[in-house]
Amino acid sequence: MPQFISIPTPGLHCIGAYRADPAGAPLGGIVVVQEIFGVNAHIRRIVDGYAQAGYVAIAPALFDHVESGVELDYDEVGVARGRALAGEVGFDRAVESVASAAQAIASAGRIGVVGYCWGGTVAFLSATRLGLPAVVYYGGRSVPFLHETARAPLLFHFGERDPIIPPADVSLHRERQPQAEFHVYAAGHGFNCDVRADYDPASAALARERSLAFFARELGADA
């Protein structure tokens, strides 16, 4: 059964996390990195989905560094509050927390990361700084870090109608990270989230299929 657990992070500070385990022997482990809205029902469904696909999955509650139990709505108030909390946490602490979450599920085998929006950039940095294979969904804050060298494989998902990530930024990703796998969908920002206006079921399903293929390849026994 899925469960909420507590995981230690550097500085002896513990944060919460939502964890789900597969029915049988795990294929590996996946750290799911939240959007700016917290470890909400949408993120928990993603964790559950990866567990159903055979992985031990865990979503660290990154905002617990500032305020515990945060779940925000997808509206102007939620966006403003989420951006403020993300700024307070910062990318360094977020990446450290991914490392802690990965350690918490280390017994599952090889570990990968998948992140969404703000969490997409955290996932990218997990590949450059932690050496973890990473899937990046519309990580709109990654441009300042594209000079960093990836120490693990990367898969990027973008929406071609995303107002937050213009085509020039997507091109910059391709230029600075030419070894990575890229996919662009006929969709907007947040197309994977079923409670957003830009949710696109077909794009979300295809991106999930490609993400599962990536993790099967990079976390498998022959990786």
- Active-site amino acid positions: 117, 162, 189
Which stretches within 53-116 are classed as H helix?
76-104
Q: How far is CA 153 from CA 31, 131, 158, 218, in A?
A: 15, 9, 17, 8
**Phi, psi for 21 (deg, rounded to 5):** -115, 150
Single-letter residue type at 96: E
Residue 24: count other Cβ atoms within 10 Å of its Cβ. 7
Helix (H, G, I), strand (E, B) or coil at 120: helix
Cα(105)–Cα(111) distance, integer angstroms: 8
Report how far apart the first and last C-alpha atoms of the chain are (Å, whole number). Answer: 29
* Residue whose structure tokens are 């996919």: 183
In sequence order, what are the beta bridge partners of 193? Answer: none
**Pairwise CA distance, residues 15 & 51, whole Å:** 21
Q: Which of 56, 35, 52, 82 is nearest to 208 (CA)?
A: 52
Q: For residues 18 and 32, give the distance between their C-alpha atoms in angstroms, rounded to a whole number.
A: 9
